[in-house]
């Protein structure tokens, strides 16, 4: 299920014309906020902090559209959703007619933002007019030169709204924000504890996840294990226990979470010790001794405890 990050919405301002430089002395008109989140500063009023802690090229906080009276402002960038993972969203950022000579910044919440390049820090994000580049929000790293950010991974299964603006230069003030773009991270992956199958399943199906297993103090090949599975117990507690222990180990090798039977597995191996299971050997255990452990392992294999039985 997807959720909407209400506190992360950035639908707070109208979007600028990405082909027309901003008009000196004007401010963008806020659009209604459909998520009723607290008003956010105009992007141009949010200081961009470069990686080395220095000042941005204009020596201040990026005054926003028209924040420096008489200055021409950058054309707003164009933003497009490209794709996503469970914890990141990739966006395409394209410059307008003025280009983005000092890079750009992307906002996606009232507290989250990322700056990509500034005139004196990294030129990878300095875009010529109509040029584009991709950035991945949620997969940003401190080691990347020219990138500064305030939040790490995005939440899975969540819809975000993004805006971008052009970073100011010494002669051009910051652009108006771009039109907002929505993008959702992929659904959260369920915790996979695997599932279990009975010893009868493993006896009658090929495609085992392993070619050998340790039972007690001995390692058995798949062929030996299959022969043991097909050997009737006939009152031998060792055979009863080996059937359930081998099935449990196959389930675990196939991805089942063993937490419910970790101690039982250890106890079963200790009880079997060096005894060799028929028909490979002639080992024997009294049913009364082996049955309690075998019963617990059977409950695991049948899905009564542990991650549950596979639905097929």
For 89-103, give the DSSP string. Answer: EEEEEE--TT-BTT-
Burial degree of 193 (CB within 10 A; 0-12, 13-18, 19+): middle
> Rounded to 5 degrees, what are φ and ψ at 193?
-95, 5
- Range among 140-144, 150-154, 283-287 rated most confident: 283-287
Confidence of residue 146 (pLDDT cuts 50, 70, 90): confident
pLDDT score at 257:
95
pLDDT score at 54:
32
Residue 190 per-residue DSSP state: P
pLDDT at position 116 over 70: yes
CATH number of residue 133's parent domain: 2.60.40.10
For the ranges 82-91, 113-122, 124-133, 201-210, the lowest mean pLDDT is seen at 113-122
CA dihedral 149, 137, 39, 6 (to 10 degrees): -130
Q: Please provide the average confidence, as pLDDT, over all residues in the chain.
A: 77
Which of 189, 223, 251 corresponds to the end of one domain? 189
Which of 164, 189, 214 corresponds to the end of one domain? 189
Per the structure, the count of domains in the chain is 2
Please give the structure tokens belonging to residue 91.
Answer: 């966006």
For the ranges 71-85, 141-155, 283-297, the lowest mean pLDDT is seen at 141-155
How many residues are there in the chain? Answer: 312
pLDDT score at 191:
59
Give 114-155 as a DSSP string. EEE--TTT-STT-BPTT-EEEEEET---TTSTTEEES--SPP
For the ranges 61-65, 141-145, 183-187, the lowest mean pLDDT is seen at 61-65
Looking at the fold, whether 111 and 223 belong to one and the same domain comes out as: no
Q: What is the mean pLDDT of residues 9-31?
A: 37
Looking at the fold, whether 205 and 263 belong to one and the same domain comes out as: yes
Confidence of residue 99 (pLDDT cuts 50, 70, 90): very high
Q: Structural domain of residue 82, as residue ranges?
A: 1-189
Residue 24 per-residue DSSP state: T
pLDDT score at 190:
64
Close Cβ partners of 131 (under 8 Å, ≥ 6 residues apart): 94, 95, 99
- Range among 134-138, 217-221, 231-235, 306-310 rated most confident: 217-221
Looking at the fold, whether 185 and 227 belong to one and the same domain comes out as: no
Looking at the fold, whether 50 and 28 belong to one and the same domain comes out as: yes
Judge whether 130 lies within some domain.
Answer: yes
Strands lying side by side in the sheet with 132-137: 78-84, 89-94, 132-137
pLDDT at position 195 over 60: yes
Q: What is the mean pLDDT of residues 58-79?
A: 64
Looking at the fold, whether 265 and 212 belong to one and the same domain comes out as: yes
| Higher per-residue pLDDT: 121 or 289 | 289
CA distance 266 to 185: 42
């Amino acid at each position: 299920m997807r959720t909407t990050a209400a506190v992360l919405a950035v639908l707070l301002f109208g979007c600028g014309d990405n082909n027309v430089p901003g008009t000196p002395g004007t401010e963008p008109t806020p659009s209604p906020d459909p998520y009723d989140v607290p008003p956010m500063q105009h992007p141009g009023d949010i200081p961009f902090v470069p990686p080395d802690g220095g000042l941005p090229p204009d020596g201040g906080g990026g005054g926003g559209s028209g924040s420096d009276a008489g200055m021409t402002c950058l054309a707003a960038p164009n933003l497009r959703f490209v794709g996503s993972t469970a914890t990141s969203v990739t966006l395409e950022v394209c410059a307008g007619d003025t280009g983005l000579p000092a890079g750009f910044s992307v906002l996606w919440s009232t507290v989250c933002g990322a700056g990509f390049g500034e005139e004196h820090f990294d030129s990878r994000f300095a875009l010529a007019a109509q040029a584009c580049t991709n950035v991945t929000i949620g997969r940003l790293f401190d080691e990347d030169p020219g990138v500064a950010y305030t939040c790490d991974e995005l939440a899975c299964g969540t819809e975000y709204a993004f805006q971008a603006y052009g970073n100011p230069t010494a002669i051009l003030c910051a652009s108006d924000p771009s039109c907002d773009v929505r993008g959702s991270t992929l659904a959260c992956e369920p915790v996979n504890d695997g599932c279990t199958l009975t010893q009868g399943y493993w006896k009658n199906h090929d495609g085992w996840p392993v070619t050998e297993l340790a039972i007690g103090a001995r390692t058995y090949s798949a062929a030996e294990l299959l022969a043991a599975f097909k050997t009737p117990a006939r009152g031998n507690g060792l055979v009863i226990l080996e059937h359930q222990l081998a099935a449990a180990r196959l389930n675990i090798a196939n991805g089942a979470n063993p937490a419910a039977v970790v101690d039982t597995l250890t106890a079963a191996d200790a009880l079997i010790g060096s005894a060799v299971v028929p028909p490979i050997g002639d080992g024997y255990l009294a049913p009364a001794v082996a049955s309690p452990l075998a019963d617990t392992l059977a409950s695991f294999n049948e899905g009564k405890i542990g991650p549950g039985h596979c639905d097929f």
